[in-house]
Amino acid sequence: MGKKARSPEGQTAASLACEATELSSRAPVFAPGSVWLVGAGPGDPGLLTLHALHALHEADVIVYDALVSKEVLALIPEGTARVIAGKRGGRPSPRQRDISVKLIELANQGKRVVRLKGGDPFVFGRGAEEALALVAAGIAFRVVPGLTAGLGGLEYAGIPLTHRDTNQAVTFITGHMAGGGLPDAVDWQALSRASPALVIYMGRRHITEIASRLIAAGRLGSDPVALIANATLPDQQVIETTLEKCAEAEKKLPPQVPVLIVVGKIVRLRAGLDWLGALEGRLLLADPLDVKRQSEAG
Ligand code: SAH
Q: What is the pLDDT of residues 262-294, one digit of tens each?
A: 999 999 999 999 999 999 999 999 999 998 877
**Is the CB of 152 within 6 Å of ligand 1?**
no
- The model carries a pTM of 0.91
Please tell me whether residues 127 and 237 are part of one structural domain: no
pLDDT of residue 22 exceeding 90: no
Average of per-residue pLDDT across 148-170: 97
Q: Are residues 165 and 289 in the same domain?
A: yes
Please say if the pLDDT value at position 183 is more than 80: no
What are the Cα distances from residue 63, in Å, to 35, 255, 258? 10, 25, 20
If we measure between CA atoms, which residue out of 131, 118, 152, 155 comes closest to residue 39? 118
In terms of Cβ atoms closer than 10 Å to its own Cβ (0-12, 13-18, 19+), residue 293 is exposed
Cα distance between residue 177 and residue 183, in whole Å: 5
Q: Show the domain range for 238.
A: 150-297
Number of domains in the chain: 2
Helix, strand and coil percent figures for the chain, each rounded to 5? 35, 20, 45
Q: What is the spatial distance between Cα 197 and Cα 207, in angstroms, rounded to a whole number?
A: 16
**Domain shared by 199 and 285, yes or no:** yes
Over 50: is that where the pLDDT of 41 sits? Answer: yes
Instruction: Establish if 11 belongs to a structural domain.
Output: no
- What does the alpha-carbon distance between residue 289 and residue 165 come to, in Å, rounded to a whole number? 8
Answer with the one of 110, 127, 147 that is the final residue of a domain: 147
State whether the beta carbon of 55 lies less than 6 angstroms from ligand 1: no
Residues 128 and 264 placed together within one structural domain of the fold: no
- Shared domain for 58 and 94, answered yes or no, is yes
Distance between first and last Cα of the chain: 53
How confident is the model at residue 162, as a pLDDT? Answer: 97
Note whether 127 and 168 are same-domain residues: no
Same domain assignment for residues 195 and 288: yes
- Pick the last residue of a domain from 128, 147, 166: 147
* Same domain as 226, residue 143: no
Whether residue 187 sits in one domain with residue 128:
no
Report the alpha-carbon distance of residue 84 to residue 13 in Å, rounded: 34
For ligand 1, mutation pick of 200, 238, 259 (most atoms within 8 Å of CB): 259
Residue 191's φ and ψ, nearest 5 degrees, are: -65, -40
Please state the length of the chain.
298
